[in-house]
Amino acid sequence: MHQCECNSRCLFPQMQMRFDGLLGFPGGFVNLQKETLETGLSRELWEELGVAIPISVEDHVVSCLAPALFSSTSSSCLITHLYVKRMEEEQILEVERAAASTAKDHGHEVLGMIRVPLYTIKGEGGLASFLSHSFIGNARSQLVESLLQSYMPATSQGLPITAHAYNLCPFT
Amino acid sequence: MHQCECNSRCLFPQMQMRFDGLLGFPGGFVNLQKETLETGLSRELWEELGVAIPISVEDHVVSCLAPALFSSTSSSCLITHLYVKRMEEEQILEVERAAASTAKDHGHEVLGMIRVPLYTIKGEGGLASFLSHSFIGNARSQLVESLLQSYMPATSQGLPITAHAYNLCPFT
């Protein structure tokens, strides 16, 4: 067992190992001429996680231009839209089970779901080690942003949440 | 969808996100005064993966001294023993489902199971990106070792295998 310096009730945002070997959030591209950001995000989540997760504009946290590394895969200028969906622990467990069994993209677009360790171990392990991994685009800064903006109130409320922060990239 | 330069039948070793935020293989410590390496490994797999996986001496690949970073957690000199268990795709899917649902260590010792991408994307993504992550001890070199020693014959036979390469560390 590990020694955990977290609060009594550990919280756990979720990320995924992507097909390209990098860490990132569930999500994908949205064509705004065919669907809204929220509808497109729900569609992507269904494909990647295997569960229906309704997304509303209230879940939106921040939007920003995608970094060059990320946008180089497209000739268009990309904007990433970060959403955070709060969930109870049982809902998160349901997502993890479905993502490893019924999700269409399991083993293809998504190589596995993981929890982000929101604690430190002897001052260096846990979140610090996790942030040293390789992330797609600006996913690392998005994770930190979502923690700063969304986790703090949740912690005070004692609610477990999942930082399902989604990259939604409109084509134009 | 991603462009995959792998062979027609993609293979996928499995690793895990550990409680300390680093990537590693399933496994753990074994007290040789109480159990054999193989019995101890099967016990650890049951705890971390939620399925019974019999391990035999024939699955052993290589043993080596644990690096200083890894052994610093113990006052004893540690030896890591690498095993590779070959599995059919359906068995791997069963492991992934159980690891995300019934495994005792899910959400504690293990933050999620992931597949290793054994392909390249545009010459840089896939396995190359994956190897840039942060690993516990000598897990990165163990992964490469297991691929060199075990994957090549398996590829020629067309068998999907899982590089369940396990760290087993006897106390003495």
- B14-30, pLDDT tens digit by residue? 999 999 999 999 998 88
User: Token pair 């010459």 is at which residue?
Assistant: B123
Q: Does A6 touch chain B (CB under 8 A)?
A: no
Measure the CA–CA gap between B141 and B131, rounded to whole angstroms: 9
Residue of B nearest to A136 (CA): B129
Residue A125: which of B20, B96, B99 has the nearest Cβ? B20
Q: Could you report the per-residue pLDDT of A34-73, keeping only the tens digit for each?
A: 999 999 999 999 999 999 999 999 988 888 887 765 545 5
Higher pLDDT, residue A17 or B164 = A17
Mean pLDDT over all residues of chain A?
79
Higher pLDDT, residue B68 or B157 = B68
Q: Does A41 map to a domain? A: yes
Instruction: Identify the pLDDT of residue A42.
Output: 92
Residues of chain A with C-beta less than 8 angstroms from the C-beta of B20 = 2, 117, 121, 125-126, 129
Higher pLDDT, residue B160 or B98 = B98
Q: What is the DSSP letter of B147?
A: I
The whole domain housing A28 covers 14-170
- Interface touch B19/A117, C-beta < 8 Å: yes
Q: Does B122 map to a domain? A: yes
pLDDT > 70 fraction of chain B, expressed in percent and rounded: 75
Report the SS3 class of residue A124.
coil
Residue B129: which of A21, A97, A116 has the nearest Cβ? A21
Look at residue A167 and tell me whether its pLDDT is greater than 80: no
Q: What is the tally of structural domains in chain B?
A: 1
In the predicted model, what is the mean pLDDT of residues A6-13?
50
Poorest-pLDDT segment among A144-158, B107-121, B141-155: A144-158
* ipTM associated with this complex: 0.81
Q: Could you report the per-residue pLDDT of B152-164, keeping only the tens digit for each?
A: 554 444 333 344 4
Model pTM?
0.82
Taking one residue from A and the other from B, the number of pairs with CB-CB distance under 8 angstroms is 108
Q: Does A25 map to a domain? A: yes
Q: How far is B123 from chain A (nearest CA, A)?
A: 11
Q: Does B21 touch chain A (CB under 8 A)?
A: yes
Look at residue A126 and tell me whether its pLDDT is greater than 80: yes
Residue of B nearest to A100 (CA): B97
B61 alpha-carbon distance from chain centroid: 12
Q: Does A20 touch chain B (CB under 8 A)?
A: yes
Report the SS3 class of residue A80.
strand
**Strands B23-24, B125-126: parallel, antiparallel or unpaired by DSSP?**
unpaired
**Whats the size of chain B, residue-wise?**
172
Q: How far is B129 from chain A (nearest CA, A)?
A: 5
Q: Does B50 touch chain A (CB under 8 A)?
A: no
Instruction: Identify the pLDDT of residue B162.
Output: 41
Mutate to test the interface with B, among A114, A118, A119, A122 (most CBs of B within 10 A): A114
- Residue A47, both tokens: 């494909």
Mutate to test the interface with A, among B9, B47, B114 (most CBs of A within 10 A): B114
Instruction: Identify the pLDDT of residue B88.
Output: 83
Residues of chain A with C-beta less than 8 angstroms from the C-beta of B9 = none
Q: Does B1 map to a domain? A: no
CATH number at residue A142: 3.90.79.10
Residues of chain B with C-beta less than 8 angstroms from the C-beta of A112 = 96, 112-115
- Interface touch A125/B22, C-beta < 8 Å: yes
Q: Does A90 touch chain B (CB under 8 A)?
A: no
